[in-house]
């Protein structure tokens, strides 16, 4: 019996060894992930098109930790000379219009033509739990496996219109990593379109036929920003509706004044699911880039965008510095209590705090 127990113990030890090996392997992986790379190493890897380093750098950009912010700024500065060599495309449309399906089909078409494509997808986050699904990699299953593509889903957080706060800096890093085309997918709600419009070269609006979208054609705002309107899901039974919608949108575009770019927005049909019309969309974008580069609008727009980013960054940092001041934190609580007791107004309290 004693011999059998001893044998059993040896057998158990033999079984536990692989588990211990797996544990050590997992620990090594975690240690490797947690190892902080220095700025020079990260930049060097990004310039070699290392997507792991690119992801780590974007994570630093999205962090609010002081040490991360400092390192992120250093990385951006080092990558800046290698940026501005891509075509930036904004893709927007209401939920359900097929943005992810379109971007995947479009991205796969571009990589088949030798382009390197980065997709910065902004996911809406909950205003209550602050959580976000970040499901773009799941929805773009084929594109995520493409070695010439990079997909980075980011939570919108509490930034205006659901646009991730650091998307602009992420564009610079993607360009430094050698991506030819940067696609920015908006949430499709609120004013996110306005913010994305301020950071792209070409703004593409996806529409649906037979969903009441035709009425939006006579409204200003999003239609005025669009450089092209693409009616998606133009296949099967909806093809006829899509063709009618194309006529209506074309009529609506005739009402708008000529753009400063001298470009006349076009309306196109496509079926991302059937992979139809995708090549025509790229040809249209290429035509736009050629025309605006020739008349120097492309460069002028980039300069105007840089000016906008500067002002917005100053406003963001001023707001952050103000609310992080210890005296403001203390006085803010007191002013909130006074407002609650009806002893002051929000306007008077704001004036008091701003003059501290």
Identify the pLDDT of residue 335.
96
Residues 287 and 341 in one domain: no
CA–CA gap between residue 259 and residue 268 (Å, rounded): 19
* Residue range(s) defining the domain that contains residue 341: 306-354
Q: Does residue 326 lie within any of the structural domains?
A: yes
Is residue 15 situated within a structural domain? no
Phi, psi of 278 (to 5 degrees): -70, -40
Domain count for the chain, please give it. 2
What's the pTM? 0.81
Cβ-contact 227, 206 below 8 angstroms: no
Residues 322 and 285 in one domain: no
- Examine residue 41 and state whether it is found in any structural domain, yes or no: no
Within this chain, do residues 120 and 244 fall inside the same structural domain, yes or no? yes
Q: 289 with 328, same domain?
A: no
Say if residue 223 is in the same domain as residue 313.
no
Residues 215, 320 share a domain = no
Flag whether pLDDT at 2 surpasses 60: no
246/77 Cα distance (integer angstroms): 44
* Residue 110 belongs to domain with CATH number: 3.40.50.300
Do 346 and 316 reside in the same domain of the chain? yes
What DSSP state is assigned to residue 255? Answer: T
pLDDT tens digits along 214-227: 555 445 577 888 99
Check whether residue 328 and residue 231 sit in a common domain: no
Same domain for 216 and 340, yes or no, is no
Strand ranges for 22-180 from DSSP E: 87-92, 117-123, 149-155
E strand spans, 197-345: 202-207, 228-231, 266-269
Q: Does 283 share its domain with 156? A: yes
239 in a structural domain: yes
Query: Quick one: which of 97, 99, 98 has its CA closest to 213?
Result: 97
Same domain, 122 and 105: yes
- Band (27; pLDDT cuts 50, 70, 90): low
Give residue-wise pLDDT tens across range 177-198: 999 999 999 876 556 677 788 8
- Mean pLDDT computed over 297-310: 92
62-84 confidence digits (pLDDT tens): 887 888 989 999 999 999 999 99
Q: What is the pLDDT of residue 115?
A: 97
Rounded Cα gap, residues 348 and 105, in angstroms: 54
Domain end call among 261, 280, 297 = 297
Based on the domain organization, do 253 and 310 belong to the same domain? Answer: no
pLDDT at residue number 105: 96
- Residues 155/134, Cβ–Cβ less than 8 Å: yes
- Under DSSP, is residue 291 helix (H, G, I), strand (E, B) or coil? helix
């Amino acid at each position: 019996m004693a011999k059998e127990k001893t044998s059993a113990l040896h057998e158990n030890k033999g079984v536990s060894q692989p588990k211990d090996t797996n544990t050590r392997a997992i620990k090594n992986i975690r240690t490797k992930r947690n190892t902080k790379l220095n700025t020079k190493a990260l930049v060097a890897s990004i310039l070699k098109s290392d997507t792991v380093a690119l992801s780590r750098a974007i994570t630093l950009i999205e962090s609010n930790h002081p040490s991360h912010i400092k390192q992120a700024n250093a990385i951006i500065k080092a990558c800046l000379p290698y940026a501005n060599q891509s075509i930036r495309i904004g893709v927007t449309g209401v939920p359900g219009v097929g943005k992810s399906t379109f971007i995947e089909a479009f991205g796969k078409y571009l990589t088949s033509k030798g382009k390197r494509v980065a997709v910065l997808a902004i996911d809406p986050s909950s205003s209550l739990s602050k959580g976000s699904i970040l499901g773009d990699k799941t929805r773009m299953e084929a594109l995520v496996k493409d070695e010439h593509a990079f997909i980075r889903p980011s939570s919108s957080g509490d930034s205006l219109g659901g646009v991730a706060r650091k998307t602009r800096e992420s564009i610079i890093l993607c360009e430094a990593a050698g991506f030819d085309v940067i696609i920015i997918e908006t949430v499709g709600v609120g004013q996110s379109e306005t913010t994305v419009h301020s950071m792209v070269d070409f703004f593409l609006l996806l529409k649906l036929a037979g969903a009441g979208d035709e009425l939006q054609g006579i409204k200003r705002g999003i239609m005025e920003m669009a450089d092209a309107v693409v009616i998606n899901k133009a296949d099967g039974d909806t093809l006829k509706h899509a063709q009618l919608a194309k006529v209506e949108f074309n009529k609506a575009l005739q009402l708008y004044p000529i753009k400063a770019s001298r470009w006349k927005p076009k309306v196109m049909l496509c079926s991302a699911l059937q992979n139809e019309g995708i090549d025509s969309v790229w040809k249209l974008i290429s035509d736009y880039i050629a025309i605006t580069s020739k008349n120097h609008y492309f460069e002028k727009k980039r300069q105007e965008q840089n000016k906008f980013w500067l002002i917005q960054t100053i406003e963001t940092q001023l707001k952050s510095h103000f609310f992080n001041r210890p005296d403001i934190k203390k006085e803010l609580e007191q002013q909130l209590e006074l407002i609650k007791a009806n002893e002051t107004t929000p306007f008077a309290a704001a004036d008091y705090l701003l003059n501290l």
